[in-house]
Structure 1
Amino acid sequence: MMYKFLMSVYKEMLLLKRDFGGLVILFVMPLVLIVTITLIQDSTFKSVTESRIPILLVDNDNGAISKTVKENLEESGSFEIVTKIDGILINEAVAKEAVFKGKYQLAIVIPAKLSSDLQLKVNQNVERIVGNLGMGEATTVPEKTAKIASKEVRLYFDPATQLAFKNAVKSAIDKMISQIETKSIYTAFQDQLGEGDEAIFEQESFIVFKEMMPKVNDKEVLPNSVQHNVPAWALFAIFFIVVPLSINIVKEKGQGTQIRLITNPVPYAVIIAGKTATYLIICMIQFFLMVAVGVYLFPYLGLPVLDVEGKLFLMSVVALFSGLAAIGFGILLGTIAKTQEQSAPFGATSVVILAAVGGVWVPVFAMPKIMQHISQISPMNWGLNAFYDVLLRNGNLLEILPEINLLLLFFIGTITLAIGYDKKKRAV
């Protein structure tokens, strides 16, 4: 039986050796994908100081508020303030046209008299409050004050700009204006109470937010594009073996190779074991190639290095069981499919769907609720969560055991279905 198993493995190796195109798909394509996607996505993981977005600023106020807004935008490190185009000071019409044509992502238009009208409005409100409390002179509260209309800080976005970017900018500017208004109110109260230059109100924020990062050896672990992309695209590469694996099984059925093996006799379980062992070796080679790219190649491309110190063993375990799940799916597909025209397109499409649903392209938390529930049945999602537990959450073997068990059960289930279907088909 062992001899038959080894010969089955040898046969699979010969088939792969003769299929140069299949080897290119299995090894070269995933490497190109992981380098390309990581380079594209790396900017979203870098600190904002490394990527400044040019935005147009139309200052019709020329007061304290517009000055503060400009300073805060520059200090954020996220934006490069542009007030002139071709050496000419821009107005709202020019800014609007430039943004709507896609030349800039954002334009901020600060209305005229914003600083003076805000100060006047705050003074009116403070005088009214102080007068009602009986702390000021009656003359300080006029019977009728002029109504000051609210001001609009207009934002123009490129129509192609993502909603997340719009919301983030609007939230940041709203927070900035609120802080300016609050400071103006404190200052007005101080003036009304006659305390001069001596500060009587603490204007620093009482409630602040601080992101707490996981630490290893008292050093914060900051997630980066490499930690997200290497496991994700390694999984994609591993599951893409479904295509050549299912095609080879269909070829064997069409060429009569499977019938000759069975009449030797060689049990179908031994054939499956040979395929499993062969393609599991392929999966692990793919995985280690991906890791090698992350560790050795990415630093030369200006990308963060993949830190696998103390994590490579657990990552290998996840890759091993992910490979089993992919092999089980490929064998089931090849057993059921009658032609290569059925197995190849369905295999490729199903892998892409599993990747999309599993969170390889879009994070699961960003999906609609129904898709978040559907993602739980994708074996790629189980493998990806296990990789993230090891790389980003410093998990141990016990913590990734649930995902490992799901991948193993998926392999057992698909292999059982494949053997059962083959027996039923041959019995007929």
Structure 2
Amino acid sequence: MHKLLASTYKEFLLLTRDVGGIAILFIMPLVLIVTITLIQDSTFKIVNETKIPILLVDNDRGTVSETIKKGLDESNIFDVINIEIEEDAKNLVFKGTNQLAIIIPKNLSSGLEKKINQNVEDILSKFGIDEEEKTQKGSFIAKEVKLYFDPATQFSFKNSVKNEIDKMISKIETQSIYNAFQKQITDDPKEVIFETENFISFKEILPKKNDEIIIPNSVQHNVPAWALFAIFFIIVPLSINIVKEKSQGTFVRLRTNPVSYLTVLGGKTVVYLAVCLIQFVLMLLIGVYLFPAIGLPTLSVSGKLPLLFIVAFFAGLAAVGLGLLLGTLSKTPEQSAPFGATFVVILAALGGVWVPVFVMPEFMQTLSNISPMNWGLNAFYDVFLRNSSLLDIIPEITLLFLFFIITTLIAIVYNENKNAV
């Protein structure tokens, strides 16, 4: 125990002598999490609160176009700007001035009405209900509602707009069919034969705690994700520290003392694990106190702190184990620093820090299961968003602990074999 404490104290002195390094370790992750959260929260507000201006060319000027305009206004997503000429709207969109233009064709309302009336008369005549003179049959050309998108518009936005307009058009056609049957069957406009209200609807059920609905926000997603990223970035200074000891001869002097490599790594583990936990505490303080002051949602940690620190502890162990292995395998700082930084970015990408795992290709989803960041992120989400208990996060923290054990053992075995030659 005395040797471990001495090794820990040595690591503490080395770390505190590098004031600039400590500042980078603690300040840069805080700047990162504030910047990313501000950007994503602003994007979230744009999608949910700010209306998107769209151009509308109404060549129909009938009931269908009025219904479309009414639906766009009531969606609270679009700010409709009426424009007369299709070519002008197209030019504005393709130049990037506007993201979307909707072109409603001529005679859309009248054409739809004629087609539906003819179909209804044909159906009723087959049942002998309508024996009056039929409307002369004719062929109808399908109408197209044109959509012009800015070439830079994201594919997901295009799909959401198409789905919204398609839903409105389908509703208009269904309503028109009901009205046509109504006119043919009864002369009393007040008599309701068909109930046109939607029978099937959608309702989102949100998780509750103490009868209060829990609504996830950008802060609850970003704080655990980028706190985990900061924790794993500890492998860069840790691996460099080990490489410097080898290149400066410090490690050779340590070997002349009756100190095992496990004890040396134990001292580093204690110090850098403490750094990870301090980073995590600072991230929580940012979420609880700074974010509300700059207009972001408050990070709710009520009743969750014990589980959060358990997850952070085991995530820190996994990060330290990876740093110990990288430092042991590397021969120069030029090897450890670039590889460590790049490897953390790869693990973050695989783990779902940047892109949700469910939108990845199937192969990448399978590959993400081997990323310790994925285990840690799932455990954080279990606590922050799913109200999970300690039993629920045991699989993730077990994987993180096993990752620490395996990487540390590989580092020890590699070092012993190397020095034995």
Give yes or no for TM over 0.5.
yes
Partner residue in 1 for 2:261: 268
Aligned partner of residue 139 in structure 1, secondary structure: coil
Q: How big is each residue's C-alpha offset from its partner over 1:153-193, in whole Å with a ceiling of 9 and x where there is no partner?
A: 11111111111111111111101100000000000000000
Q: How big is each residue's C-alpha offset from its partner over 1:128-155, in whole Å with a ceiling of 9 and x where there is no partner?
A: 111111101241254xx12111110111
Equivalent pairs counted in the alignment come to: 420
Partner residue in 2 for 1:86: none
Structure 1 residues 263 and 90 mapped into 2: Cα distance closer, same or farther (>3 Å)? farther
Correspondence 1:96 to 2:90: yes
- Within-5 A mapping of 1:226-241: 226-241=219-234
Correspondence 1:169 to 2:161: yes
Partner residue in 1 for 2:61: 62
Partner residue in 2 for 1:285: 278
Q: How big is each residue's C-alpha offset from its partner over 1:200-251, in whole Å with a ceiling of 9 and x where there is no partner?
A: 1000111111111111122221111101000000000000000000000000
Partner residue in 1 for 2:170: 178
Kept after mapping to 1: 8 A contact 2:235/2:319: yes
Structure 2: unaligned runs, 5 residues or longer: none
Partner residue in 1 for 2:202: 209
Aligned partner of residue 58 in structure 1, secondary structure: strand
Q: 1:190 aligns with which of 182, 196, 207?
A: 182
Percent of aligned pairs sharing the same letter: 65
Q: How big is each residue's C-alpha offset from its partner over 1:73-128, in whole Å with a ceiling of 9 and x where there is no partner?
A: 11111111122xxxxx3421111111112111111111111111111111111111
CA offset at residue 313 of structure 1?
1.0
Partner residue in 1 for 2:143: 151
- Aligned equivalents of 1:48, 1:423: Cα separation in 2: 57
Structure 1: unaligned runs, 5 residues or longer: 84-88
Partner residue in 1 for 2:13: 14
In the TM superposition, structure 1's runs of 4+ consecutive aligned residues that sit over 3 Å from their partners are: 43-49
Q: Which moved more, 1:407-416 or 1:120-129?
A: 120-129
Kept after mapping to 2: 8 A contact 1:43/1:51: no
Correspondence 1:382 to 2:375: yes
Aligned partner of residue 423 in structure 1, secondary structure: helix
Kept after mapping to 2: 8 A contact 1:46/1:224: no
Kept after mapping to 2: 8 A contact 1:128/1:141: no
Structure 1 residues 221 and 264 mapped into 2: Cα distance closer, same or farther (>3 Å)? same
- Aligned equivalents of 1:281, 1:249: Cα separation in 2: 17
CA offset at residue 45 of structure 1?
3.8
- Aligned equivalents of 2:420, 2:242: Cα separation in 1: 19
- Aligned equivalents of 2:52, 2:234: Cα separation in 1: 41
- Aligned equivalents of 1:15, 1:52: Cα separation in 2: 54
- Within-5 A mapping of 1:126-145: 126-142=120-136, 145=137
Kept after mapping to 1: 8 A contact 2:58/2:84: no
Correspondence 1:38 to 2:30: no
Correspondence 1:334 to 2:362: no
- Aligned equivalents of 1:167, 1:100: Cα separation in 2: 18
- Aligned equivalents of 2:322, 2:99: Cα separation in 1: 45
- Aligned equivalents of 1:45, 1:223: Cα separation in 2: 12
Q: Which amino acid aligns with 1:217?
A: N
Tell me the TM-score normalized by structure 2. 0.97
Q: 2:249 aligns with which of 242, 256, 272?
A: 256
Structure 1 residues 195 and 43 mapped into 2: Cα distance closer, same or farther (>3 Å)? farther
CA offset at residue 49 of structure 1?
4.8
Correspondence 1:319 to 2:312: yes
CA offset at residue 300 of structure 1?
1.4
Q: How big is each residue's C-alpha offset from its partner over 1:362-386, in whole Å with a ceiling of 9 and x where there is no partner?
A: 0000101000000000000000000
Tell me the TM-score normalized by structure 1. 0.96
- Aligned equivalents of 1:340, 1:185: Cα separation in 2: 74
Q: What is the alpha-carbon root mean square deviation over aligned residues? A: 1.3
Aligned partner of residue 41 in structure 1, secondary structure: helix
Q: Which moved more, 1:40-49 or 1:304-313?
A: 40-49
